[in-house]
Structure 1
C-alpha cells in the first residue's frame, strides 16, 4: 500500500518529508489533483503564480501546501503569510481549513475582519503565522498604532482567493497597493499567489496582480474539465415546486437554487415551503448567524435539502457536496454562471444544472451563455491602471502609517498597477489637493507628512471605518426578535411598514424564511422589533441593476450570426423553437460590419444603431455622440437610439471621427464633457462603485472617469464599420 501511495504521489519528492507524511497519513490523500501537480513545484521554485482551476479542484491546497513546506524550511517569527479573501464567511471557512493543515506543524492561523472580537484580534497579531483577512481590514491594520509593524518583518507570501472578484472592483486595486506597502516591511521579496475558478483576460490579471514584484510569474491552468449536463426550460413549461420535487426524486438530495435578488429568494422560499419543499434562505440581508446556521445544516445533514441563494453562495464557502444547481433565471455573465455551476458535482465530476429561461431578454442571455460555453471563455476583466483618487486615499493612509513619506517609499507605492498611467502632472495635482485640504503637509525637504485632517480621519473610529472601506455603505434597519438579529431592511421598505401600521394597525412581512409582525420601530437605533407571524409578504430591496459586458454582448451577436443554437445546453422543444425565432428575428439587427445602421423610423422619430457593445460600451459611444452635439440618445446593452431625422450613416460618421483619435485625445475630450455635465459625472461614479471622490479635485475625478469608460475595442469596431 505504501509503495502505491508513493507512486501516486510522485510529486511529493519536492516536499519536505514531514509534509509528505502528513499528506499521506493525516489528510489520507491518494494522489494530488492535476492543478496541485502543476502548481506546487512552481511555488516551491519561488515564482509568483496565478492558479486557474475549477471549484473543488484543490486550489487552496495547491497554494498553501508548498507555503507550509517553505515555512518549515525557513522558520522565522511573525506573520509569514497574508491570505486575502473577499467575503467574511469565506474567511471563516478558509481559516478553519488552513488550521487543519498548519496547526499540526505549530503554525497559528487567525482571521481578521470586522466581526472578529478584540481578544481574537489581539491573539492574531501576537501569535499568528498565517493571517486571513480582507483588503479593508489590512488597510486598518497598517494604519493602527496597536499593530506593531515588526510583525510583518518576515512576511514572505501574499495570497488572494477569488482573484477575479477582486480584479473587477476597487477593493482589488486597494489590495495590490497594500502588497507594495507591505513590501517595505520585509526583507523577503513577497511571493504573490492568486487563485480563481474563472478568469478572463488571464495575462492582464496576472500583470495587475504582480505589480512591482521582481520575481518571475507563471500561470497554472487545470487542463481537466468536468462533464456538464445543463438543461434549460421556459418558465411557462414548468411549475417550480413540481420541478424541484422531480429533481429530488431523481436522486438530487442537495440542491442550490440561485436567483438574482433578495426579494426572489424570499418569494420562492415561501412558495416552496408552502408546497411541501423545505427550502432554506441565504442572502446578504439575512443575519450572519442565521446564514452560518444554514451553511452548517446544509453541510452536515444527509437528508434532502434545498437552499435558495443570491450570489452569497457563488464563491467557495464549503457547504459540502452539491448534487445540482438550479437557476431561476439566466445570469448576466458567463463567469457567474460557470462559477455557480461549479458548486455541483464535486464527487462525480459531472456538473448538473437546470436553468429557467423567463422572458425574451432572458433567452437572449441564454444565447450568450451557451455560446461562451461552446467557446470555453468567460468575460475579460481589465483592472484600472489610472486611479488617482485611490492614490490620494493611499497617500493619506500611507503617510499616517509611516509618519513621513520619503521618495523611495512613494516610488514603491507607485509600482502598483492602478497607478501605471498616472503622469507627473496628475501626481502633483493629487498632492496639491491633499495639502490644500489638510490631509498632507509637505516639509522643506519634500517629504510628505500626515496633516490634521488625516489624523482626524484615521484616529476617530467611525470616520476610520468609512475611510478604509472603499465601497459606499448603505443605511439599513436591523430586524430583531427576542434579542436575536434576523436580518436587515432598507429604509424605503421600513417607511412602507410605518405607513401600514398607521393605516391598518399592523405591518407583517417575510424575512429569512419566516413571517414577522412589527411591534416597534426605533429610528434612533435603526432597529425593528418583531414577533413571529404568518406572512407571504416579501420586502423590497433596492440595488443597481446587473450590467451586460462587452464580451457577453459580442457572444450573443456571434450566436445570432451563426443562425444556430449552441449545443452546450439541452433545451426543451418549446424553448428551442423560441430561441430559433429570436435568432431569425434578431439577425436583422446584425450586418457584416460591427455596427448595423437602421433606416429612420417615422413612428419612433429616430434611428437605431445596433452595436452589441454591452452597457458600458454603449455608454461610451453615447458620450461620443453627446460630444459631437447629439443630445437625444437612448441606449441599452446592444443598441443606440438617436432621436432626429438625420441619416444613420451621419451618426456613424460622427462616431468614427472620434473613435479614430488617440486615447489621450479621447481622454481630454471626455474629461471636458464630464466637467460640463455634473449629472454624467455622478452617473459614471455610480458605475465605478467606490467612495473616494472627495479625495481629489473634480478635474482629476472627471479624467479618471474618462479613462474608466474608454474602450479601445469599441473604438476599433466603430472604425471598422
Structure 2
C-alpha cells in the first residue's frame, strides 16, 4: 500500500530528531519508524508502561495475546501498538486490524483514541455497527478502512457480503476488547466461531489480542481465545502502586441511605452502582432535587439517553450517574472522584471493575459502601477480603451451545454451498466451540430440523426448508447475525423516531393509563402496537409511575463471593481493619450460624423448630448453584417438605416426627453417586425463548443444554463429593 511506504520514508528523517526523547529499549527500537514518531510526537510518551513493553515482546515472538490490566491501565495501546507495527511493516491493503467490542458505546468511545494514533500514519479508521447510518459506515469497493471497529453481530453482517468479506482477506490482527465479558456468553460462542472463520477468509492465522480485566483463570481465557496449535502469551500489568480508600454507611432506612449518597457525591464526579434497573430508577428519583446534575444509566434506557449521561460525566464540573453494570466496562467517562456501591456487589470481579473506575493517574481509588443490613456488611467485607488476596471469578465458555451450532449451520447453507448431511455436520463441528457436542446430538438436531421443515433434502444434499424461509428470512436473514436472545419488552419511541427505552410487558397496562417516568423524564403513551411491541410516546410534564422490570435480574452472589463469606464465618469474623460498626454488624450477621461450616465442603446440620426440624445444607456455593441443589432435593424429598435457599445454604423444613437430617443427607449422598445424564430430567423445563434459535432445537437437547450450562449440574456433582459425613 503506497501511502504506508510514504509514511515510512517521511517519518525516518523526522524521527531522528527524537531519538533521545523516549528510552530506546529493544522493543521500541524494533518498531516501524513512523510509529516511533507518533509515539514521541503525537502521544508525547517518554516511556512505555511495563505492560506495553511485554506486549510488544510477546507479539514479536508470534504469540496470540491476552493482556490483563485494570481500567486506564494502558490495555488499548498495549494491543494496538504491536498490531499497528505489524500492519505498517506488511503494507497490505484492505482491513488490516479488526477491533471487536461487546458494546457499541465502547466503540464510539475508542474511535477517537485510536484515530489519534492512526491518522498521522495515514491509516483510515472506521466504525461499523447498527447505531451508525448506512451511508456513514459503507465504503466503496477497494476503499476499505485499514482499521475497522465493530461488534460480533455487525461482523457477521460483513461476512455475508461478498465484497466486504473480500476486504478482510488481508486481515492481520483481531483485537477483542473486554474479552472477559464474552467468554461465558452466547455472544462469546459466536465470537469464537467468527475468529475461526476469519482465519479461513484470510487463509492463514490471523493474530488474536484479547484485552481483559482481571479474572480468576486467565490461562483458560487465553486458551479459549487462541488454539493449542498457536503460540500464546499472557501479559499482566503490574499492580498499581496507588492506594485504595473505603468508607462505610450502614443504614436500614432507604431514604436515609439516599441522603447519604447525596452528601457523598455533592460537588464531585461520581458513579453510584446499584443492583437492578428498578433500583436505579428509584434512587435516581430520590436524588432528583437534592443534587444536580444526576442521570440514570441502564440497559432499558435508549443508547441516546445513556450517551447524553456519559458526555455530561466526561465534561467539566460535578455530575452523578446512577447505574447498573452498564458502566462497569471501560467506557471513558473522564476522571472520577468517587464510586458508590449502593448495597453489596454480587461478584468480586464486578467489585474490582467498579473500584477501578477511580484512582487514575496515581491517585487512590475511592469507594463508599452504602449498606442496608448486617448481611450487606458481611458480603462487602467478603468482597474486600477476596480482592486483597488477588482473587476473581473464574470464567468458562458454555459447554453445549447447540443453539449457536444451529445458527452456524444455517449461515453455512446461506453461503450457497451444496453440502451433504455428514459433510455439513463435520464442517460446523470443526468450529472450536462445538467440540463438546457429540455426533449423536448433531444428528438429533438435524433430524428435528428436517422433520419440522427448517431443512429439506435435495437428493443427497441438505437445503434450507420452507419453515426457515418463513421464520428467518426477513431483512435478508438478519436474524442469523445475532445470538442475543430476543427480549419481549415494549420499545418506547417518540413521533420523530427518538428511542426512549424499553418497558417490561407487565408494566404496559400501567404506562398506557398513567404514563411513566424513565431516566428522570415524564412520558405519555399516545398509542401502542401489541403485535410489534411498540409504544408511541410524547414528553409529559407529569411524572408518572417509575417502570419495573420482571426479568434480567442479577445471577445473585457468585461462588467466589459466597466462599469468601464462608471463610469469614469459619474464622468467626473478618480480619480486615474495618470500622467497629461494620465489625459488629458482621459478628451479628454470623452470630447464629453453626460451628463447623465453611467453604469447600457440604455440611448438613439440623436444629429444632417450634413444630418440626429445620435441616440446613451449608454449601457456600452461591445463589445459582444452591438453586440447583434445591431442585434436586425437591425431586427426592417428600413434597410436603418445603425447600428454600440463599447463597450460603439450602434449608428444608421437616414436619414433626421424621428424621429429616438423615433423609436429606441420604438424598445428597445419592445425588453425588449419579452422572449428569441421570439428572437432566430432574430440572425444570425452560422455554425455548431462553436461547436464540431455541425453538429450532428438540426438547431433549434443550434439557441437556440447561442441565450443563444453566443449572451447572457437573459443578454441583463435584461439590457434593465434599459432603461431610453425619
Q: Could you state the TM-score of these two structures normalised by the residue count of structure 1? A: 0.88
Partner in structure 2 of residue 550 of structure 1: 559
Aligned positions of 1:127-142 closer than 5 A = 127-142=144-159
1:249-287 Cα deviation digits (max 9, x unpaired): 7xx732111112223333333333312443122222332
Counterpart among 612, 615, 621 of residue 623 in structure 2: 615
Superposition map of 1:623-662 within 5 A: 623-626=631-634, 628=636, 631=639, 632=641, 633-644=643-654, 645-661=658-674
Q: Distance in 1 between matches of 2:586 and 2:105?
A: 39
Residue 219 to residue 592, structure 1, CA distance change in 2 (3 Å): closer
Closer, same or farther in 2 for the Cα pair 1:415/1:385, shift >3 Å?
farther
User: Using the alignment, how far apart are the partners of 2:20 and 2:93 within structure 1?
Assistant: 38
Match of 2:278 in 1: 263
Q: State the 1:561 CA deviation.
A: 0.9
Q: Quick one: which of 137, 156, 164 aligns to 1:121? A: 137
Provide the secondary structure at the position in 2 that maps to 1:266. Answer: helix
Q: 1: CA distance between counterparts of 2:492 and 2:110?
A: 28
Query: SS of 1:669's equivalent?
Result: helix
Alpha-carbon contact 1:400-1:454 (below 8 Å) kept = no
For the Cα contact (< 8 Å) 1:321–1:344, is it kept in 2? yes
Task: State which of 494, 501, 511 in structure 2 corresponds to 1:480.
Answer: 494
Distance 1:578 1:428 in 2: 57
Spell out the pairing of 1:2-401 with structure 2 (5 A cutoff).
2=18, 5-7=21-23, 11-123=27-139, 126-142=143-159, 144-145=160-161, 147-211=163-227, 214-225=229-240, 226-236=242-252, 239-240=256-257, 243-244=260-261, 246-247=263-264, 253-301=268-316, 303-401=317-415
Change (3 A) 1:51 1:467: closer
Asked whether the 8 Å contact 1:9–1:30 carries over to 2, the reply is no
Residues 1:396 and 1:466: Cα distance change in structure 2 (over 3 Å): closer
Cα drift, residue 690 of structure 1: 2.5
CA distance in 1, matches of 2:588, 2:574: 11
- Say if 2:678 is the partner of 1:682: no
**Alignment partner for residue 590 of structure 1, among 579, 585, 597?**
597
Q: Is the 8 A contact 1:110 1:124 kept in 2?
A: no
Q: Structure 1 residues 56 and 415, CA, compared in 2 at 3 Å: closer, same or farther?
A: farther
Give the conservation status (yes or no) of the 8 Å contact 1:609–1:639.
yes
The alignment covers a number of residue pairs equal to 693
> Equivalent residue for 1:698?
699
Residues 638 and 184 of structure 1: CA distance in aligned 2, closer, same or farther (over 3 Å): same
List per-residue Cα deviations over 1:616-642 (Å, max 9, x = no partner): 322332344355465553333222223
Relative distance call for 1:439 and 1:188 in structure 2 (3 A) is same
Seen in structure 2, the aligned counterparts of structure 1 residues 426 and 124 have a Cα distance that, compared at 3 Å, is farther
Q: After TM superposition, give the deviation of residue 44 of structure 1 in Å.
A: 2.7
CA displacement at 1:342 relative to structure 2: 0.7
Query: By how many angstroms is 1:405 displaced?
Result: 4.5
Contact 1:510-1:539 within 8 A present in 2 as well: yes
Instruction: Find the residue that maps to 1:535 and give its secondary structure.
Output: coil
Secondary structure of 1:586 counterpart: coil
Gaps of 5+ in 1: 502-506, 675-679
Contiguous gaps of at least 5 residues in structure 2: 1-16
* Structure 1 pair 34–448 and aligned structure 2 pair: CA distance change class (3 A): farther
- TM-score normalised by L of structure 2: 0.88
Deviation string, structure 1 residues 293-323 (Cα, Å, up to 9, x no partner): 222222122x222222222211111111112
Report the Cα distance in structure 1 between the residues aligned to 2:400 and 2:483, rounded to whole angstroms.
Answer: 20
Aligned match of 1:677: none
Distance 1:643 1:489, change over 3 A: same
Cα distance change of structure 1 residues 51 and 415 upon mapping to structure 2, 3 Å threshold: farther
Contact 2:566 2:599 in 1 (8 A): no
Contact 1:5 1:24 survives alignment (8 Å)? yes
Deviation at 1:141, TM superposition (A): 2.9
CA 452–535 in structure 1, closer or farther in 2 if over 3 Å, else same = closer
Q: How many Å apart are 1:479 and its aligned residue?
A: 4.8
On the 8 A contact 2:622/2:646 being kept in 1, the answer is yes
RMSD: 3.0
Deviation at 1:21, TM superposition (A): 1.1
Q: Following the alignment from structure 1 to structure 2, what is the Cα–Cα distance between the partners of residues 54 and 100?
A: 22
- Partner of 1:185, secondary structure, is helix
The whole-number CA distance in structure 2 between the counterparts of 1:259 and 1:74 is: 48
Contact 1:623–1:670, Cα closer than 8 Å, also in 2: no
Confirm or deny that 1:489 pairs with 2:503: yes
CA distance, structure 1, for counterparts of residue 189 and residue 292 of structure 2: 43
Structure 1 position 216, deviation (Å): 0.8
Partner Cα separation in structure 1 for residue 411 and residue 496 of structure 2? 41
Cα distance, 1:124 vs structure 2: 8.2
Instruction: Give me the whole-angstrom Cα distance separating, in 1, the residues matched to 2:345 and 2:190.
Output: 28
1:465 lines up with 2:469 in the alignment:
no
